[in-house]
Each structure stands twice: as C-alpha cells, then as structure tokens.
Amino acid sequence: MKIQLCIVILLSVFISALSSQSKAELYLTNNVLNGACDDPYFTGFMIELDTIYSSIDSSILFGQLPRLGTINFKHKTNIPTEFTRTDRAGYPQIMFRFRSEWLTFDDPMYTNNSISFTIDRDPVVPFTEDDLKIIQLASDMLSEPKYWHKQDDRICEDDLANKSYSLFCALKIASLAVEQKYNHRNAVLQKLRHLINEKDPNKQWNHRLMDFNNQEETTYEDIISILAEMEAACGLDLKQK
C-alpha cells in the first residue's frame, strides 16, 4: 500500500510539472531574442531577427514570423524550431511545434527590450464559423453507427477509403475539407480534449481522442453526444462574439 501511495504521489508531482502553462521571458539584445522558461522540459528559446532593434513590440515580432529559431529541450540545446504566427484563435498568436505538439505563447507583455509570456501546452481556443462547419461535417460523416470506426490508430487514410471513421479521423478529414489544412490545436480538437478530460478527470490518457474513441465503454451514442455538445458550445461561443 505504501508503494502504491508513493507511486500516486510521484505521478501527481509529474503531472503538476507538466501543467498546461509555464512562464517564460525573452530579452532583446541587438537582433536576438534570447530567454528562459520555467517549464521542466522547454528551458530556453532563441529567435534571431532580421535586423538590430533597440526595442521590441508586437508589431515588430509578428512581422518577423515565420522564422527559424532554436529551443532547449531537456539537456539538448539549440534545436532548430520554427516559430510562426497564427490567427486561428481569432487573434494573433505565436506558435511553435515540437515533434507532434503545438504550443502557444499566450498573454505576452512587452517592455522596451523584453517579452514575458506563458507557454500553453493545452490552450483553450475560441471558435470560428469554420469550426462549426467542421463539427457539422464530422457529425454527417458519423450519421449512422456503421460509419463509426471503433479501433482508431490515428491513421486516417483507411478510414476515408472504408468510409468508417474514428472520432479523431472524422474531425481531421472534416478540417481538411473545410480549411484545406489540419491544425492539431484548433478550437474543435481542443474543445474535444477538454470535454474528454471533464468526463473522466482522473483518467490518464495517452492520446485523448483515440483513447476515448477506443475504450470499451464508449458507445456510438457517446460519440454523437460529444459532437452535439461541441456544436452547442461552438454556437454559444459564436453568438457571444
């Protein structure tokens, strides 16, 4: 029992360390933004600008993107990383991708020569009209139980060929159809991840969409219900804008 309790405590500490937000700050020196982060893994950043600046603000920074910089990850330093601008949330954000994970720089605060911000691993993204279309198209694709693929492997080509879609693949294919691109952290997928967490907050998911789709207790009705819940949340969000 003591060993099990220790394992639970260690897991809680680990999960806390991987909380969705971490504080970071970049300092401007000539044409370089260089700084550190209190994230246990993403410990530092460097973005080289195209010219020397005496101060930095949002218009200068966003005008520089996309731009190749570097990050420090664990004990590895200067890993080439693309920093890009996205308006996907309905306002400008800075995103960078590490492996398959998209992260955002949120709530930036600018001084003359520094930028402080939080890194959000799991951002809440406001809905757009396109998101509503994506949800509705995915719901149409899953209109009958025979169109639901219970064994998701996150590879969607066979889903498309067989016209049998996992929850993830239905939304990915719908995203490509509506926007001609796929954003792993768009409003639809983020809302779905958060809803899955809310339904079972104590469960440790590896890939939330795949695991929810594949778990034995998930039914077709659960899939349709969570899509309907997303559509309602999207509609409400759009009305409030």
User: Which residues, at least 6 apart from 166, have a Cβ–Cβ distance to it below 8 Å?
Assistant: 148, 149, 150, 151, 152, 156, 159, 209, 210, 213, 214
Cα–Cα nearest to 94, from 58, 129, 52: 58
Q: Are residues 135 and 231 in the same domain?
A: yes
The domain of 222 spans: 129-239
Which of the 8 DSSP states describes residue 165? B
- As a whole number of Å, the end-to-end CA separation of the chain is 52
Instruction: Identify the domain boundary among 85, 100, 120.
Output: 120
pTM: 0.67
User: Which residues, at least 6 apart from 161, have a Cβ–Cβ distance to it below 8 Å?
Assistant: none
Instruction: Identify the domain boundary among 75, 91, 120.
Output: 120
Instruction: Identify the domain boundary among 86, 120, 154.
Output: 120
* 43 domain residue, yes or no: yes
Domain count across the chain: 2
Cα separation values, 224 from 120, 146, 170, 186, 235, Å? 29, 13, 12, 20, 16
Q: What tokens appear for 16 in the block?
A: 């806390």
Q: What tokens appear for 162 in the block?
A: 């067989």
- CA atoms of 229 and 147, how far apart (whole Å): 20
The pLDDT assigned to 240 comes to 83
User: Which residues, at least 6 apart from 54, have a Cβ–Cβ distance to it below 8 Å?
Assistant: 112, 113
Q: Are residues 111 and 166 in the same domain?
A: no
Buried b (16+ CB within 10 A) or exposed e, 164-189: bbbbbbbbbbbbeebbeeebebbbbb
CA 181 to chain centre: 15
Cα–Cα nearest to 223, from 178, 163, 167: 167
Q: What tokens appear for 114 in the block?
A: 């520094």
pLDDT (tens place) for every residue of the chain, 241 residues total: 433 333 332 233 333 334 567 899 999 999 999 999 998 888 999 999 999 999 999 999 999 999 999 999 988 999 999 999 887 666 788 988 887 667 888 889 999 999 999 998 777 788 989 999 999 999 999 999 999 999 999 999 999 999 999 999 999 999 999 999 888 878 899 899 999 999 888 888 889 999 999 999 999 999 999 999 999 999 998 998 7
Q: Are residues 98 and 138 in the same domain?
A: no
